[in-house]
Amino acid sequence: MRALVGTLVVLLVQGNSRAADFALRDGDTVVFLGDSITAARTYGKIIENYTLLRFPERKLRFFNEGWGGDTAAGGLARLERDVLPHHPTVVIVAYGTNDIGWGLKADDEHRKIYLDAVRGIVTACKKRKIRVFLCSAAITGADPAKSEDSFLQKMCDEGMALARREGEQAIDVQRTMRTIQKRVWAYNEKLRPDQKKTTLHAADGVHLNDLGQLAMAYAILKGLNAPAEVSSVSLDAQTGKVKRAQNCKITEVVTGEGRVEFTRLDGGLPFNYGLFYALNFAFVPVGSELNGYALTIENLPEGKYEVQAEGRGVGHFPARLLAQGVNIASTTTDAWQPGGPWNAQANILQSLTDARHQLAIATLQARTYLPRGEVPGALQKPSAQTDEELIAMQRLVARPRPYRFVVRKVEPMPEKKP
């Protein structure tokens, strides 16, 4: 092997131009306020993990104050008790379905109650300099081609308009989710009657399953101006020249016949969420619109190449595909194992985030069901300390580290003799 470029090749980190526009800022404390869809904590944890991985330099905290069966009026009533003690700088609000009794109370009276409550939440938060992002409700399982003009959508449109008039932000979760739902329905139409259909919902057609929760998280992240690209690198296999390095540093480039090595230090990491989770991206375009982690290597000799990072198998790609650029955010050489080390870090982060929320659920249950006993008080201090320790572990795990990449040509297996 001949070293064409040594340790002096460095491209400084170039920040993604959209990253500066991401709505969650350094030092923010974010509270999710909503009904049972929020209380399930799934979309909130996805947003939490995405943000910690993508913006590791920002010190953020996330709290979930969803409540099963809640309405906007209920959220306003418990703002003082449940939300303000977290000292939030951002409140992400998602109500609507319960406000009209799952459609059984879709009338002017309940519409007014919803809008008055939204106004109350926005006003109370503005007075305390808390930024509000009012979301339209999640979609139901109704036909997406017929629900654009539904009472729920129109009521939420009025709520979002109200928030904007008050100088706050609004995120139209419904329309973004409906686009995904149409994609799901189109897929189902091609299935045989005996094949299992994909859905975003539980059996009741209102509560979201994991795919629906991902769709809601995606809609909110898009509304928060989450950038499409994590980082990207492009280099020439013949000269060793780094042609592009976006939001990363590239050092110690070494090239040889059918082989390229380099060290990559990223400004942020891609989002992953466990084995096989990326299969959901066929319907929810996380990979293409929120999770670009690109590798481009030009002028490799023709053939198939294995990509490794820190000894972990990332994937096998033909030279022509590497020359076009591949998104390696979630690729792996073994479907039962995380691919690159960033994938493994994300899986560990998921476990830590789950632990935070399990702890929060335990303390909530103690306050709710044992209010007169000694348990809630006894849990308060140690649970707060444990939460701080878990947050520190989250940040440790989500921090980018330098990865040594090896791209080497894979020789074809010899044909077996008959």
Report angle CA 363, 365, 370 to the nearest 5 degrees.
100
Confidence class for position 20, pLDDT limits 50, 70, 90: low
The answer, yes or no, to whether residue 22 has pLDDT greater than 70, is yes
Total number of domains constituting the chain = 2
Neighbours of 113 (CB within 10 A): 16
Whether residues 169 and 301 share a domain: the answer is no
Whether residues 72 and 215 share a domain: the answer is yes
Whether 168 and 113 have beta carbons less than 8 Å apart is answered as no
Confidence class for position 376, pLDDT limits 50, 70, 90: confident
Q: What is the mean pLDDT of residues 283-308?
A: 97
Q: What is the pLDDT of residues 325-352, one digit of tens each?
A: 999 999 999 999 999 999 999 999 999 9
What is the Cα 403 distance to its own chain's centre?
23
- Across the chain, what does the average pLDDT equal? 93
Whether residues 190 and 304 share a domain: the answer is no
pLDDT computed for residue 7 by the predictor: 30
pLDDT computed for residue 2 by the predictor: 37
Confidence class for position 109, pLDDT limits 50, 70, 90: very high
Whether residues 197 and 338 share a domain: the answer is no
Measured distance CA(257)–CA(336) in Å, rounded: 31
User: Domain of 137?
Assistant: 19-223
CATH number at residue 152: 3.40.50.1110
Domain end (from 207, 223, 239): 223
The answer, yes or no, to whether residue 17 has pLDDT greater than 50, is no
Whether residues 13 and 58 share a domain: the answer is no
Whether residues 362 and 381 share a domain: the answer is yes
Q: What is the pLDDT of residues 231-258, one digit of tens each?
A: 999 999 999 999 999 999 999 999 998 8
Q: What is the mean pLDDT of residues 294-306?
A: 97
The letter for the amino acid at 87 is H
Measured distance CA(296)–CA(322) in Å, rounded: 5
Structure tokens at 400: 């980018």
Whether 38 and 96 have beta carbons less than 8 Å apart is answered as no
Measured distance CA(88)–CA(91) in Å, rounded: 7
Structure tokens at 156: 């939420």
Whether residues 277 and 141 share a domain: the answer is no
The answer, yes or no, to whether residue 13 has pLDDT greater than 50, is no
The answer, yes or no, to whether residue 206 has pLDDT greater than 70, is yes
pLDDT computed for residue 142 by the predictor: 95
The letter for the amino acid at 57 is E
Q: What is the pTM of this model?
A: 0.93
Whether residues 123 and 256 share a domain: the answer is no
pLDDT computed for residue 296 by the predictor: 98
Whether residues 207 and 233 share a domain: the answer is no
Closest to 339 (Cα-Cα) out of 314, 309, 307, 308: 314
Give the count of alpha carbons within 13 A of 250, CB side only.
26
Domain end (from 165, 192, 223): 223
Where do the DSSP E strands lie in 136-241?
Answer: 169-171, 229-236
pLDDT computed for residue 372 by the predictor: 87
What is the percent of the chain where pLDDT is above 90? Answer: 90
pLDDT computed for residue 121 by the predictor: 98
Q: What is the pLDDT of residues 393-416, one digit of tens each?
A: 999 999 999 999 999 999 775 556
CA distances from 305 to 117, 268, 323, 409 (A): 58, 26, 12, 4
Structure tokens at 167: 């100088």
Whether residues 59 and 121 share a domain: the answer is yes
Q: Residue 330 carries which DSSP code?
A: S
pLDDT computed for residue 14 by the predictor: 40
Specify the higher pLDDT residue, 134 or 258: 134
Q: What is the pLDDT of residues 28-75, one digit of tens each?
A: 999 999 999 999 999 999 999 999 999 999 999 999 999 999 999 999
Bridging pattern class, strands 229-236 and 169-171: unpaired
Whether residues 176 and 261 share a domain: the answer is no
Domain end (from 223, 258, 291): 223
Whether residues 173 and 240 share a domain: the answer is no
Q: What is the mean pLDDT of residues 138-159?
A: 96
Structure tokens at 118: 């939204």
